[in-house]
Structure 1
Amino acid sequence: MVGPSRRVVLIGGGITGTLTAVALARAGWEVVLAEGAHIGAGSSSRTAAGIRQQFSTRESVVGMRYAVDFFRRWRELIGGPLSPIHQSGYLFLYDSEASWQAALDRAERQRAWGLTEVETLAAPALQARFPYVSEAMVGGTFCPTDGFLRPDAVYNDAADCARRLGVSVLQQAPLLSARSAGGRLTAVTTAKGELEADLFIDCTNAWTRRTARLLGGVDLPVAALKRYLWFAERGEALPAETLLQMPLVVAPGGAYCRPENSDSLLMGWKHDAPDVSLTFDYADQDTIEDAHDHRGGGESRAVMAWIQLAEAMPPLGELAGLSATTAGFYGSTPDHNPFLDFDPQVPNLLRLVGFSGHGAMFGPFTAAVAAALAEAGRPLDALELPTGRAELAAFQIGRTMHHGEAMVI
């Protein structure tokens, strides 16, 4: 029988919440997962879903190597009819000698951290490998085991796996209030009733500042920032086979694209956005501001992203046109690394938030960290993984943020 010290409530039913629920159930916890709307209703269903191991932070490289292996073994570890990972690679392009030298230095560190398959391609070898890349690009770093995910398969398969393991998955169960005693949380009230537990886990990411107010947690610097994705029709720009084999490509200015299917390309580009963490509502996820609408003409951010990508890859200038815009929120931290740690004000509240656009890809690593922290019942210095030792200081609450993640798109 599971004792009271082994009961846990997770708040938030996206990729982080569902995969963490699986990890804790397998560790012997009695798990309740409470989602305010439906599984995957937040940022998880609105993500570009890239998955990469090319980071400038050692712990992210180690963690993402673990995550990639987990996703490759998905049907064995989680179940589901299909693998959710498409390993077509990530290609970062550089158009100046200075940026290229910095990329070479990062790649050398990444290899030292275990990412031995990352390649550095200087022109003209870059263009020989990827003929659609402009001759103006002086180099590119390519990791063939990177790629992208099908996020709906991830959170739906993970939720199904959690249910098979005995997890109670509650939908339409928004958090309403909390009860505490002696400085510790004892219960939360949702629209589906009160849930008592010994451990509570915040998996609400862009919503975390409001979640913390209800739970009595510290107000973490996690900004809710709007991000957009655009879709373009292939037309005659590239053969369908070429499009499907394209990696996720990041242009020097930060715009990126990847194949969505044989006939369309997904594009994205971050922009300066206000922090709306305390004011946005659920419907705002899908609100498309005029400046970012694909129908907005030449001044639209969508068109500017398309132009930037076409400068890096000229055949993309011949795409048939932009066809759709989608949107959602990043939960971003100042150093672009997440918080994976116990709340300093509420010792039995674990915060798994602030993924800065990397939440989907981090999912298996986040779940492994969460399970280790839950078992320890206290902060940990490091986690030993098959891919290496991950020092957890980079993800702790209260860390200094002098050296942030440099590879952010």
Structure 2
Amino acid sequence: MEDPLVWRAGDGPAGEWLERVLDLLAGPQPDGYLVRGDIRWPDHPYGRWTHRGLDVSGLAEVLAAEGVDGLCALTHDGDAPDTGRVAIEPLVWQDRGPQADPVPFAEATPLGTSAGRVRLSAEVRSLADLGAWLGQLSPLLTDALPDPGWSAAPLDVPLAAAFLHRRDGILVSVHSLESRQRQGAGAGRQMLLRSDATRLPGHARLLGGDAVVQTRPVRTVADLASWLNGLAEAWQVRPLMRPGAWAGAAPLPPLSRAQVWSIEDGAPVLMVHRKGPRTMMVRGPAAELARWAAPLLEPVVHEDVPVSAHRLRLARWLRQIEGAVFRGPAAWTVPHVAAPLESAELAAWLHTHCPDGRMGVGGIADGTAELLGAHTSRGAGLTITGRRVA
């Protein structure tokens, strides 16, 4: 079975799968389970309770009677940092619309608090806490996830972590503990790891560093270099070359902060917050951090330029960005402009068509750089994409 939290017809009796999964995720439920179904337009667009108080065997009988051929256990954040919720839903879910036949089964949920043998959420006050919590997720995965033995030193900012199972994979969300306590399940997340039941044991190892799970204030390029090399140490990859004294002392925009925003199938997305509306996102494989994150140590990458500046100044800034990101000339793509432009041509185009805004680098990934902040004469924002000239 590729995912222990998914059942398909042919995998064996659905009742046995329900018994095992609900023991792991929901635990004893004296009040039983609630089934919601009979979704129909316009009478019951959100469904209604069709059964209440079922035990697991009764739930299996109801689902068998409905002819369900695939089930998925979905997990969600709970109201508190150390709680979670579980729902059993059809593996394939489609919004059939008002013209379709009624949907007989939408979800089954426990009437009590979910408290299975596997903790879906946990308070995390050290990397050791995080590693131990990840290890106890092993029954939900295809392979065991051993406790990695991370540091027990207290984190600067305590965290709350949650295991979120979806039809298309697994999310491990990390919030600050304070935000989860204050805002509940609606708290803005600190970091998100996206994986699946087969690869999570390998991907989870990327969480084992303070620099990975904590936001770091950065005032200079040297601060940013120190943070990036903290990531390199956690991921056991080649460190970045430290910037020279002049470049390292270059200030970053006020109130800049650096964090790992997400890890998508083993590829980290780094974010540098800055004062104002724009942040910078940089993405690449963890093993090649020293290659794709190196442009962050070039001071010009953190600078803005007024789009209303003289075209010669714009062209000079664009050439500096090309040198920092691509180590050579780039071809710039502008929406609704037929052919790519070189830096001088782009500067002339911006000088003519964009009277407003401050332009800066918004993203670097997959061999491209995005410039944000330019506005056309009609006030529309532009995303300009650069690629290295072969």
- Into which bin does the TM-score normalised by the smaller protein fall? under 0.3
Taking structure 2 as the reference length, the TM-score comes to 0.20
Q: Is the radius of gyration larger for structure 1 or structure 2?
A: 2
Larger RCO of the pair (alpha carbons < 8 Å, separation 6+):
1
Taking structure 1 as the reference length, the TM-score comes to 0.20
